[in-house]
Amino acid sequence: MKAFRIVGYYPASKKKQDFTIDVVASDEEDARHRLYSHIGSRHRVQRRHITIESIDKIDPSTSSSANVIHAFRDTIDSSPSPPTDDSE
């Protein structure tokens, strides 16, 4: 599985609603499908009304999305080590 960042927009009333969503998927086509499912179920927008501007593979450690953090929790070191002061 890989992490993808998807940028695009969909119509909301008379304006367009921009979005940036990080998803976990096996490939770009799967990422597109997961985005359509997510936005369609949450905002009742049909797939044909969603415009995707870009889909980029990202490093999972750069994402703040809960589903990406959960999927890569074993590979992401989320707790920084405390600084050591050896000068004493």
Could you identify the residue written with the tokens 């993808």?
A: 4
Residue 35 maps to which CATH number? 3.10.20.10
Note the pLDDT of residue 78. 54
- What's the structural domain count of the chain? 1
Q: Is residue 18 part of a domain?
A: yes
Distance from chain centroid for Cα 35: 9
In this prediction the pTM is: 0.81
78 falls within a domain: no
Confidence of residue 24 (pLDDT cuts 50, 70, 90): very high
CA distances from 8 to 45, 54, 79, 82 (A): 13, 7, 32, 39
Contacts of 42 (CB under 8 A, 6+ apart): none
If 0-12 CB within 10 Å is exposed, 13-18 middle and 19+ buried, where does residue 13 land?
A: exposed
pLDDT of residue 74: 86
pLDDT band at 77 (very low <50, low <70, confident <90, very high): low
